[in-house]
Chains A and B, each alone.
Chain A
Amino acid sequence: MTKIQKSVADLKPGEKGTVCCFKDEIMSLKFLEMGCLPGSEVELSHKAPFGDPICIRVGGYALSMRLKEAATIMLIE
């Protein structure tokens, strides 16, 4: 059985991960341009009320995104 790969949407506040790849090609363009690249370390800073959107720390700054968008950033196991 293969484990389901984790995405940024699965992170808990304070938890870190390393970006492996993107599930949505068009959305990935925006992430790439924002400096969220394969190999970048990301950390979930906090979630908005109701748990969505979320805010991650990447490349030394705070980046917010909707949960649906975060779910397309896959993490290295």
Chain B
Amino acid sequence: MAPSSLLKAALIGNPNSGKTSLFNQLTGLNQKIGNFPGVTVDKKTGISKLTSNQQAEIVDLPGTYSLYPKSADEQVVMDYLFDAFLKATPDFLIVVIDASTLERNLLLFTQVRDLGFPVILALNMLDLAERDGKKIDIPKLINKLHVPVVPVNARTGEGIEQIRFAMACPVHNPPEQYLKPMELAPAVVAAIKKHMKIDNDYMALLLAHQYEGMLSLSAYDKAAIDSIVKENKFQSTGIQSSETLKRYDLIRKIIKDTISIPVVSTEKGRWSERIDKVLTHKIYGFAIFFLVLFVMFQAIFAWAQYPMDLIDGLMGFLKEVVHNILPEGSLTDLLTEGLIAGLGGVLIFIPQIAILFGFIAVLEETGYMSRVMYIMDKVMRQFGLSGKSVVPLISGVACAVPAIMATRSIDNWKERLITIFVTPFMSCSARIPVYTVLIALVIPSKNIFGVFNLQGIVMMALYLLGFLAAILSALVLHWILRSKERGYFIMELPSYKMPRWTNVGLAIVEKVKAFVFEAGKVILAISIVLWVLATYGPKEGMQQAKIEGQKEALAKGYSPAETENYISSKKLEASYAGHFGKFIEPGIRPLGFDWKIGIALITSFAAREVFIGTMATIYSIGDQAEETDSVVEKMRNEKDPQTGAAFYNIARSLSLLVFYVFAMQCMSTLAVVYRETKTWKWPIIQFVFMTAVAYVSSFVVYSFFE
């Protein structure tokens, strides 16, 4: 048997061409997500078994309409192709074409071909084309394009075997030149070819257009191309426009010979238009959108509870097991209180994130999400956002990390930046436990008008508050930021389709992975650091705390377990975290917070829900009973040392609630904002801004109610 070999291929195509479905069909669960070098857009790679001894590694490139990128997503394609061009990888490109809009799809195909890559053309959605009455003569198309054309149905899996076969037995594609760059800009093309030592005219032309935005080009090469372009007075816009027109001329000739289009248009595809009439209607459209939102949030809160309880129980069980197996000591504590607790803090959010992104994936798969962007655009624009900001803002309700990653499809930098900036104001899942505890503490559980639960109403008000903060901050930024850059909303509204559940499933896996690996590792690391800070402190103080704790517990007649918890809380007070809490106490006193809350605010930086665990330790509940109820009970009994009244009164609790709605208390989000904006400027501004909003609002609330 021949040694097994690994071919390399990449999938490229227009958005909505069925590229991802094809990728999923080819690779199944054999996918992994990495990063493209130097950029943050996820790179999806998968392994596909071609024959018994041959495999192909396939990269799924982001969808693009041409090789002239307009967004961060599309820039990746160009950078990938340039890199592949220099290294002579991949072995071939699979261009996925939507047969029902063949003309537009072939533009990218001719561009890719002009770069000299071997190409396999996957002709998808033939059923849609045929429904419109279009007949495509495939042998003729192969003849015209000189590449293997494989009809596929990425939804049903038809033709996948043929694609595998075409990959396993590649035919040699003669090089093609649809466009003659030498006719458009001879001097520039020649000079760039010479400088870059490349032999492809079209790559030289693309570099002349795009050298500034290319991430994979060295500063030296950029400067050289810059002087070539300036010297020759290269007219980028005009040349690009004549390139596209020339290509469409050629494509129309090809199409005329290979497709028979019915004289009387029977475009049955227009049933999509009839659905649009309802879904984008000024009344029904919004009504349906809000209904969808309502169902979605209902699902997050109701359905996610069961798996979350399960994870919670499992982590508690794991802690206990480790405690029982290992000898007592700081290493065991590090393992249970640091590592396992941190891990639990990450895993607990997976159900909500999975459900929300499952919903979003279904809405995207069906084509409905584009309509939401369409109907919301005008409204969002008043606040400096785009219709495309809707998806990140909704995603922010689960977790800001994947939400901020979802802003990449927004091609206008200002709109994207504002979306990134305000998304963390949306109440994410980590805030829910905090809200729950504080609401249970001060808001009576009574019904209003017989049906509405007061606690539920307050919860909803907090979400609304976060959303308003997002929208109003967007407005502020919209006034401050000046941008000459254009925003496009020139966007395809794909025809409605039934969702493919495999795609939905894989999209969920992808988002959960993004959360676990992006946010998760930061949460885990900080949990451990915070555990250290909360466990260790200046030596003398720690010992004294232990002795005093024991003495006081004895005087109060505590049971052994109570004594231990009491000592823990004394130790926390004496620890570095405790010192820090006391250090910031003067600063947070105007908000009604004491050093105990100070500690919780600091530990919340790992993830906001750590608040509960910290409160449990401070009020010496111990880790056996880390139940929300017991925390609420303890906090309720806490007395104000000066007045003797309940410490967590309405004013203090509302102040704390408002603080958690607004404050930027998430390192993972800051890290992601840094990655997406490529500068520390924005995460710092965001942190300062959100903390300031939180501080001022809490101050106002506390002063008002006090």
A46 touches B273 (CB 8 A): yes
Roughly how many angstroms separate A10 CA and B382 CA in the complex, as a whole number?
Answer: 22
In the assembled complex, the CB of B496 is this many whole angstroms from the nearest CB of chain A, namely: 10
Considering only CB atoms, which chain B residue lies closest to A37 in the complex? B248
In the assembled complex, the CB of B630 is this many whole angstroms from the nearest CB of chain A, namely: 50
- Residue-wise, chain B 223-254 has the 8 Å CB interface mask toward A (1 for contact) of 00000000000000110110011001000000
Tell me whether A46 and B272 are in contact in the complex, defined as CB-CB below 8 angstroms, given that A25-B237, A33-B68, A63-B492 are known contacts: no
Interface status of A55 (Cβ within 8 A of chain B): yes
A53 touches B377 (CB 8 A): yes
B280 touches A48 (CB 8 A): yes
* Chain A, range 1-52, C-beta contacts under 8 Å to B: 25-35, 37-38, 45-46, 48-52
Residues of B within 8 A of A46 (CB): 273, 276-277, 280
Roughly how many angstroms separate A62 CA and B552 CA in the complex, as a whole number?
Answer: 75
Residues of A within 8 A of B495 (CB): 61-62
In the assembled complex, the CB of B70 is this many whole angstroms from the nearest CB of chain A, namely: 7
Roughly how many angstroms separate A57 CA and B270 CA in the complex, as a whole number?
Answer: 10
Number of interface residues of A (CB under 8 A): 32
Roughly how many angstroms separate A5 CA and B232 CA in the complex, as a whole number?
Answer: 36
Tell me whether A63 and B490 are in contact in the complex, defined as CB-CB below 8 angstroms, given that A26-B237, A35-B101, A55-B276 are known contacts: yes
Residues of B within 8 A of A32 (CB): 241, 244-245, 248
Residues of A within 8 A of B387 (CB): 53
Q: Report which of A37, A38, A48, A59 forms a contact with B378, defined as CB distance below 8 A.
A: A48
Residue among B70, B267, B280 with most chain A CB within 10 A: B280
A35 touches B282 (CB 8 A): no
Interface status of B174 (Cβ within 8 A of chain A): no
B489 touches A49 (CB 8 A): no
- Residue-wise, chain B 632-665 has the 8 Å CB interface mask toward A (1 for contact) of 0000000000000000000000000000000000
Residues of B within 8 A of A63 (CB): 490-493
Tell me whether A33 and B276 are in contact in the complex, defined as CB-CB below 8 angstroms, given that A52-B377, A53-B374 are known contacts: no
Considering only CB atoms, which chain A residue lies closest to B381 in the complex? A66
A26 touches B486 (CB 8 A): yes
Roughly how many angstroms separate A43 CA and B633 CA in the complex, as a whole number?
Answer: 65
Roughly how many angstroms separate A12 CA and B39 CA in the complex, as a whole number?
Answer: 43
* Chain A, range 50-77, C-beta contacts under 8 Å to B: 50-53, 55, 57, 59-66, 69
Tell me whether A37 and B245 are in contact in the complex, defined as CB-CB below 8 angstroms, given that A30-B488, A30-B490, A46-B273 are known contacts: yes
Residues of A within 8 A of B377 (CB): 48, 52-53, 66
In the assembled complex, the CB of A37 is this many whole angstroms from the nearest CB of chain B, namely: 6
Residues of A within 8 A of B269 (CB): 60-61
Considering only CB atoms, which chain A residue lies closest to B487 in the complex? A66
Q: Report which of B68, B267, B370, B378 forms a contact with A49, defined as CB distance below 8 A.
A: B378
In the assembled complex, the CB of A63 is this many whole angstroms from the nearest CB of chain B, namely: 6
Tell me whether A62 and B489 are in contact in the complex, defined as CB-CB below 8 angstroms, given that A32-B244, A49-B378 are known contacts: no
Residues of B within 8 A of A61 (CB): 100-101, 104, 269, 492-495
Residues of A within 8 A of B282 (CB): 49-50
* Chain B, range 266-317, C-beta contacts under 8 Å to A: 267, 269-270, 272-273, 276-277, 280-282, 285-286
Tell me whether A29 and B281 are in contact in the complex, defined as CB-CB below 8 angstroms, given that A35-B248, A53-B387 are known contacts: no
A64 touches B491 (CB 8 A): yes
State the majority secondary structure of interface residues on B.
helix
B486 touches A35 (CB 8 A): no
Residues of B within 8 A of A30 (CB): 70, 488, 490
In the assembled complex, the CB of B15 is this many whole angstroms from the nearest CB of chain A, namely: 11
Interface status of B107 (Cβ within 8 A of chain A): yes
Interface status of B190 (Cβ within 8 A of chain A): no
Roughly how many angstroms separate A37 CA and B243 CA in the complex, as a whole number?
Answer: 13
- Residue-wise, chain B 471-506 has the 8 Å CB interface mask toward A (1 for contact) of 000000000000000101111111100000000000
Residues of B within 8 A of A45 (CB): 273, 276
Interface size on B, as a range, is 35 or more
Roughly how many angstroms separate A63 CA and B495 CA in the complex, as a whole number?
Answer: 11
B285 touches A35 (CB 8 A): no
B493 touches A64 (CB 8 A): yes
Considering only CB atoms, which chain B residue lies closest to A27 in the complex? B486
Interface status of B80 (Cβ within 8 A of chain A): no
Interface status of B336 (Cβ within 8 A of chain A): no
Roughly how many angstroms separate A61 CA and B375 CA in the complex, as a whole number?
Answer: 18
Considering only CB atoms, which chain A residue lies closest to B251 in the complex? A35
B378 touches A52 (CB 8 A): yes
Considering only CB atoms, which chain B residue lies closest to A68 in the complex? B489
A48 touches B65 (CB 8 A): no
Residues of B within 8 A of A33 (CB): 65-66, 68, 107, 244
Tell me whether A65 and B491 are in contact in the complex, defined as CB-CB below 8 angstroms, given that A35-B103, A50-B282 are known contacts: yes
* Chain B, range 79-112, C-beta contacts under 8 Å to A: 100-101, 103-104, 107
In the assembled complex, the CB of A25 is this many whole angstroms from the nearest CB of chain B, namely: 5
Interface status of B132 (Cβ within 8 A of chain A): yes
Roughly how many angstroms separate A11 CA and B107 CA in the complex, as a whole number?
Answer: 28
Residues of B within 8 A of A59 (CB): 101, 103-104
B489 touches A60 (CB 8 A): no
Residues of B within 8 A of A66 (CB): 377, 381, 489
Residues of B within 8 A of A51 (CB): 378
Residues of A within 8 A of B248 (CB): 32, 35, 37
Tell me whether A25 and B488 are in contact in the complex, defined as CB-CB below 8 angstroms, given that A59-B101, A61-B100 are known contacts: no
Residues of B within 8 A of A31 (CB): 490
Residues of A within 8 A of B378 (CB): 48-53
Which 9 A/B pairs are nearest by Cβ-Cβ distance? Answer: A49-B282, A35-B104, A62-B493, A32-B244, A50-B378, A33-B66, A66-B489, A65-B490, A61-B101
Q: Spell out A's residues near B (CB within 8 Å).
A: 25-35, 37-38, 45-46, 48-53, 55, 57, 59-66, 69
In the assembled complex, 13 residue pairs joining A and B whose CB atoms fall closer than 8 Å, in A order, are: A26-B486, A30-B490, A33-B107, A46-B276, A48-B374, A49-B281, A50-B282, A50-B379, A52-B378, A62-B493, A62-B494, A63-B491, A64-B374
- Known contacts A29-B68, A31-B490, A55-B493, then 11 further A-B pairs from the complex at CB < 8 Å, ordered by chain A residue: A27-B486, A29-B241, A30-B490, A46-B280, A59-B101, A62-B495, A63-B493, A64-B489, A64-B493, A65-B490, A66-B381
